[in-house]
Amino acid sequence: MVKKTVYFDNAATSWPKPEGVYKAAEIYLRGSGASPGRSSYTQAIQVERQVFETRERAAAFLGAARPEEIIFTLNATDALNMALKGILEPGDHVVYTSLEHNSVNRPLHSLCHHRQVTATMVDSDPTGFLNVQEIANAVNPQTKLIVCTHASNVLGRVTPVKEISRLAREKGVYFLIDAAQTAGSVEIDLQDIKPHLAAFTGHKGLLGPPGVGMLYVRPGVRLRPWREGGTGSRSEEDRQPEMMPDYLEAGTMNAPGLAGLNAGLKFIQETGIPAMARHEQGLVQKLVAGLREIKQVQVFRPPGNYPSTAVVSFILKGLDCGEMGHLLEHYYGIMCRTGLHCAPNAHRTIGTFPQGTVRFSLSYFNREEEIDYALQAIREIARGLQ
């Protein structure tokens, strides 16, 4: 078995990217290079058109009614901070789940300690299943917001966001989705799910470069901007302009990142999420079946058919998962993530806290041979442990 280079860390950052993503960023940097929205010479307008096109494409892709509902951010963490800190006031209560990433846990912790917000965490079951009734039970008269990930980054299981959204509307509270793990891998139709807010990142399933993300803000939802400054509009006024998207987009944008994101979105639109998901889920099934044949391996993926992302968490009994990650990388060239994956409560729920798991996260660009190779590597390591 010749040592290969295998990238299984797509839930952190997808790689490789479609060819068009590399080209789009290069074309911007070499060819136009100007600030969008600030000047009116031809080259600057060209960049503005490209930002507009990206916004339009993202809105259509995600099912937003209008492009202005999509705000460009640095990543999902940035979008989640904008949403949580822009909407929660002293005295407000928020409901969140044990599947959340630290990009939700930590802003909430800070809001609870410094802005007199209170929070209730609803546990999933060990398979990552969320009971919507338990979320309903956690809502009280002070509740302003429910925030929930669209899929656990440890278990991959997709959460029932449509039902949670319906519950939020019934209870008269806002609903924020963290779609960092799902956008690009699972179909998302914002008109159908009807959240008030949704956070996305460009560098995972959307196949763009790191440093670009998005926040969907439904019309009528008013956030306090936590970043104010130059927008290129209403420059005579000290006050932040209230028109979207300028209201929440102060400062020069990551235009090469957005050019790359546009190309990533285009690739997904042309290939189609169903075809991409079919390929990814085929690989996941092969991987899970192979892992289950190795007796020292425990896979954290419950049997049964439910929508999920291409994330597989497992442990090899008798070997620290950090050590396992190191052996896989050093001797086999397999790159993956080990530990808690910034989601400590999910690991408490499945009983792998604090040691964590080994996580393989796959993409459309992974191949069946890579799964065979990885399974062979794990079999060899497992045999050596005996």
Partner 1 sequence: MVQKCYFTFPTTHQAIRAEKVLLKTKKEFKVVPVPREISSSCGVALCCTPGEAEGIKACLESEAVIVEGFYTLEEKVSAGLLSFLRGREKRGE
Query: CA-CA distance, 137 to 30, in Å (whole number)?
Result: 55
Q: How far is the CB of 344 from partner 1 (least distance, A)?
A: 13
356 binds partner 1 (CB under 8 A): yes
- 354 contacts partner 1 (rule: CB under 8 A): yes
Q: Number of residues in contact with partner 1, rule: CB under 8 A?
A: 21
Residue 16 interacts with partner 1 (CB under 8 A)?
no
Q: Could you say whether residue 295 binds partner 1 (CB under 8 A)?
A: no
Dump the DSSP string for 181-225. TTBTTB---HHHH--SEEEEESSSTT---TT-EEEEE-TT-----
Q: Please name the amino acid found at residue 243.
A: M
Are 265 and 50 in contact by the 8 Å Cβ rule? The answer is no
CB closer to partner 1, 42 vs 386: 386
**In the complex, what is the shortest distance from the CB of residue 343 to partner 1, in angstroms, rounded to a whole number?**
14
Asked if omega into 245 is within 30° of 0 (cis), the reply is yes
- Nearer to partner 1 (CB atom), residue 266 or residue 337: 337
Extract the tokens encoding 229: 């400054």
Place of tokens 């999420």: 273
Q: Tell me: does residue 323 bind partner 1 (CB under 8 A).
A: yes
Of 47, 186, 284, 381, the residue at the interface with partner 1 (CB under 8 A) is 381
d(CA 341, CA 110): 20
Q: How far apart are CA 214 and CA 220, in angstroms?
A: 18
- Which position among 27, 112, 136, 319 is part of the footprint of partner 1 (CB under 8 A)? 319
Q: By CB under 8 A, is residue 1 in contact with partner 1?
A: yes
Question: Would you call 340 exposed, middle or buried from its count of C-beta atoms within 10 A (0-12, 13-18, 19+)?
Answer: buried
- The correct pick among 15, 355, 372, 379 for binding partner 1 (CB under 8 A) is 355
**Which one of 16, 91, 251, 322 is in contact with partner 1 (CB under 8 A)?**
322
User: Residue-wise over 44-72: b if at least 16 C-beta within 10 A, else e?
Assistant: beebbebbebbbebbbebbebeebbbbbb
Closest distance to partner 1 from the beta carbon of 3 (Å): 6
> Please, which residue, 306 or 331, has the CB nearer to partner 1?
331
* Rounded Cα–Cα distance for residues 53 and 32 (Å): 15
331: contact with partner 1 by CB under 8 A = yes
Quick one: tokens of 278? 């079919």
Q: Closer to partner 1 at the Cβ: 301 or 337?
A: 337
Q: Is 343 in the site for partner 1 (CB under 8 A)?
A: no
CB-based burial, 237-254: b 16+ in 10 Å, e otherwise? eeebbeebbbbbbbeebb
Looking at 29, 275, 289, 385, which residue binds partner 1 (CB under 8 A)? 385
Would you say 18 or 356 has its CB closer to partner 1?
A: 356
Interface segment toward partner 1; rule CB under 8 A; list 5-13, 254-262, 351-359, 362-370: 351-359
Asked whether 24 and 260 are in contact (CB, 8 A), the reply is: yes
CB closer to partner 1 out of 123 and 380:
380
Element (H, E) at 145: strand 143-149
Whose Cβ is closer to partner 1: residue 9's or residue 246's? 9
**Contact by Cβ (8 Å): 311, 346:** no
Residue whose CB is less far from partner 1, 215 or 334: 334
Q: Which stretch binds partner 1 (CB under 8 A): 25-33, 257-265, 282-290, 320-328?
A: 320-328
Based on the shown chain and the rule CB under 8 A, indicate whether residue 320 belongs to the binding site for partner 1.
Answer: yes
Q: For binding to partner 1 (CB under 8 A), which residues are involved?
A: 1-3, 319-323, 325-327, 331, 338-339, 354-356, 380-381, 384-385
